[in-house]
Structure 1
Amino acid sequence: MNRDIMEGNWKQIEGDVKARWGKLTDDQLDVISGNREKLVGQIQESYGVGRDEAEKQIREFETSTDR
């Protein structure tokens, strides 16, 4: 999955994102709205990880989600 697919299919993958990062609230997911940079920031904030770790987690998510 690439960035365009994430943004374009956000409503379809939102549940997968919530399952992977359960600390993210529905309000946060609404704000993210498929924007990868916002997702990185919210993961950093909610999980207390650095940018590199958040990016790594998203890359792993993108490669494991066949959409």
Structure 2
Amino acid sequence: MNEDKIKGQWKQLSGKLQEKWGKLTDDDLKIAEGNREYLAGKLQERYGIAKEEAEKQIKEFDKHL
């Protein structure tokens, strides 16, 4: 999904993101607002995973939308 589309549907996507990654807070998602780099950073921080793994998980999530 392209970034413009993600930003346009962010409210709907943020619920799905929180279902998948429950450690993300509402504030995390509000600040991220479609920014993959920020989201990957928050996944790293909350789940203690490498940047590459966080980006991989985001890509997988994106495929299933």
Give the TM-score, by structure 2 length.
0.90
Matched, 1:13 2:13: yes
> Which ranges in structure 2 are unaligned for 5 or more consecutive residues?
none
% identical equivalent positions:
52
- Which whole-Å CA distance do the structure 2 matches of 1:63 and 1:11 have between them? 18
Give the TM-score, by structure 1 length.
0.88
> Which ranges in structure 1 are unaligned for 5 or more consecutive residues?
none
RCO higher in 1 or 2 (8 Å CA, sep ≥ 6)?
1
- Which whole-Å CA distance do the structure 2 matches of 1:50 and 1:31 have between them? 21
TM-align CA RMSD: 1.0
